[in-house]
A and B are shown apart, each in its own frame.
Chain A
Amino acid sequence: MNITEEMKDNISRIYLEGRFDANTCADVEKFIREKVEEGKYRFVINMEKVPFIASAGLRVILVFAKELRQKFKGDLLISNLQSSVERVFEISGLKNVLKIYDNMENALQSFKIEN
C-alpha cells in the first residue's frame, strides 16, 4: 500500500494506492494515527487507486471517523471510490454513516461549507 499526504487549508488529503485489507490496514492506521497525534483532525481519503477494500480497511476508516467526530469535532471523508469498492461501502452499511464524495473537490468543499 502506497500512502501519501498533501496538507492544505488545514485539511489532510490522503491518497491510498493498493488493496486495503488485512495486509495493509496496519500501515494506514499507523499513518493516520500519526497525523491525529500531530493535531490534524480533518481528513479526506482519496481511494481512486484502491481496487479493493476488506473488512480490515472498513474498520480502520469507521473507527477513525467516529473518533475524529466524537473527540475532536473533526471528520474523515472519503472520495473517488471505484465502483466495486463503493458497492462494498453500500452493502457493509458504511455508506449510510460516512460522507462519501465523487471527487476530492466536492469533499473539500464540504469541509469549507461546514466552516
Chain B
Amino acid sequence: MKVRFWGVRGSVASPMTNAELAVKIETALQLAVKAGLKAETEIPAFMKSLPCYVRETVGGNTACVEIQAGDKLLILDGGTGIRMLGLDMIRRDYGGKPIEAHILLTHTHWDHISGLPFFVPGFNPKNKLTIYGAFSNLEARIRNQQKFEYFPVPLPAAFHFVQLKENSVFQIGDVQIETLPLNHPGGSHSYRMTHQNKSIVYATDSEYKDLSNHSLRPFIRFFQDADMLIFDAQFTLLENIEKEDWGHSNVFCGIDMAIEAGVKKLMLIHHDPAYNDQKLYKIFQDASEYLEIYAPDRNLEICLASEGLTLTV
C-alpha cells in the first residue's frame, strides 16, 4: 500500500505565517554564512544539511491521508488537505474512466470534513466518490455542511454514502476494513486496512486517560502487529493533561501503545495548530529519545507526518 499525507494538522488549518517564514530564511542564511557558502553549486548539498524545521514545514492543512491499495483508492478524512489531493487526482491518468474513490471518515468535526466542498473530483457527476462513516446520520451531516447557509454549492451528485455500524468489518475490493470506536467528544472511529497481509491503522482523535493495560486492551488488540499506525499525537504530555476531555493524545502514549501492540511504524499526526515546525521537531526528537530509553531493542520506527510525505507499506 502506498500512503501519502495531504493534511496532518488537527483542529483548524494553520498556514505558516510570514514571521515564521522569515525566521526560517534568516536561520538558513546564518547557517550559510557559517558554512562559508561561495557558489550556487554548493546550495543543494547545503540545503540537505539544514535542520528539518528550517528546510521544511509539516504543513497547515487538516486531516487527509491517501492510501492506494492495489486498484482501490482510499481517502482517510476530508479535512482541508483533501483539496490538494483532489487537484492532484484530476491530473492523474485513469485511462478515460471516471474517478472512483472511497472516503473513510473518522467523524464530522470540522477539521475532518471541511475540505469536502473543495474536492474537485466531486464536481464531475461521472465520478463515484463513496463516503463511509460509522457514526449516526452520516449523509445528513455531510449534506448539511453544504446548505446555502454555509456554502454556495450543494453536495454534488458524485458523492454516495455507506452508513457503517460500530465495529464494522467489510471489504472494498480486496482490502479488508475494520472499524473501532475511539474516545473523543461526539465520537470518532479508527480504521484498520489490510491488503496483501499488510495493515495500516488510522487512529486519530482519541484520548486515553486511563493508561492501564486493562483499559487500553481493546485499542492494543486493534493496533496489534500493524505495519503502520497513524496516531493522534496532538499535544505534549503536559498539555494533554491540562486539556483533559478535549479528545486527543500525545506522542509518549503513542509510543507506549505502539510497543505494546508490536507496531512497526508509528506516524505522528493531528499536530496542534499552535505548534510551529521547530516545536514539532523538538517533540519528535524527545520522542525518539524516549523510545531509545524505553525500548532500545525494539524495531519500532517513529516518524513525524508532514504534508507530501509518501511511504510504502
Contact = CB atoms under 8 A, between A and B. Distances in A.
Interface string B294-307: 10000000000000
Interface stretch (A6-14, A21-29, A42-50, A72-80): A21-29
A94 B293 contact: no
Nearest to B237: A92
A55 B237 contact: yes
Contact of A22 (B216, B241, B289, B290): B216
Given A87-B293, A91-B289, A91-B290, A25 B238 contact: no
A91 B211 contact: no
Given A25-B211, A88-B293, A91-B289, A97 B256 contact: no
A59 B256 contact: no
Interface residues of A, number: 24
Contacts of B236: 92-93
Contacts of B212: 22-23, 25-26, 29, 56
For chain B, the bracket of interface size reads 20 to 34
A22 B294 contact: no
A26 B237 CA distance: 18
A96 B242 CA distance: 14
Contacts of A59: 209, 211, 237, 241
A56 B238 CA distance: 13
A26 B250 contact: no
Contact of B286 (A21, A29, A84, A91): A91
Contacts of A101: none
B252 A58 contact: yes
A111 interface: no
Interface in A64-115: 66, 84, 87-88, 91-94, 96-97
- Listed residue (A52, A54, A55, A66) with the most chain B CB atoms within 10 angstroms of its CB: A55
A63 interface: yes
Given A22-B216, A59-B211, A91-B289, A52 B294 contact: yes
17 contacts: A23-B213, A25-B211, A26-B214, A29-B212, A54-B256, A54-B294, A55-B211, A58-B252, A59-B211, A59-B237, A62-B238, A63-B241, A66-B241, A87-B289, A91-B290, A92-B236, A92-B290
Interface of B: 209-214, 216, 236-238, 241, 250, 252-253, 255-256, 260, 286, 289-290, 293-294
